[in-house]
Amino acid sequence: MSENIKTFNLKEGAFPIRMNLLLEDIDLENIGRLKNSVCGNIVISLISKDLFRCEGSINTVFIDNCQSCLKDIEVSLNFKCNLVLKDEALMMDDDSNQDQTHYQNLEYFDVKQLIQEEISLNYPNIVKCEEDCLEIEPIKKEEKNLPFKKIRDLID
């Protein structure tokens, strides 16, 4: 499956669903520009009536600006996803406290929305070309000329 990713009904069909995805664009703000296509290898399996598992990997490269020096740098994203998929109608009543849950209308499940949300969650908060880019050197205290310091040290 490539750029023509459509919605589909997770409440009907045979499982597991295996997808090799190739996205040429994404609709995310406040992150860099997509350099390469987004490649995804995802398997959606049925756990129970309205509960699904999504496992796989997502790989891509963005061009972003270093937050210190503003130089263009590459940000590589290579991560695994292991999520539970639930219908968005259950979101407010869900008390399972699972961190890795994606809510969406399961009758009109949009894989691109899932991929975009995972990219957004895995994109680094701080983008720097180097760990210490433009680090401010600590200001060294200039030693004052203390003429009686040695005598004071001897007394103490």
pLDDT in tens, the chain (156 residues): 444 566 778 888 788 999 998 988 888 888 889 998 999 999 999 988 888 999 999 999 999 999 888 899 999 999 999 999 988 887 766 666 666 888 888 889 899 999 999 999 999 998 888 877 776 554 555 556 666 676 777 776
Angstrom CA distances, 63 to 18, 58, 72, stand at 29, 17, 6
Give me the residue spans of the domains in the chain. 7-134
Please identify which residue in the block is written with the tokens 């295996």. Answer: 18
pTM for the model stands at 0.75
Closest CA to 15 of 49, 57, 59: 49
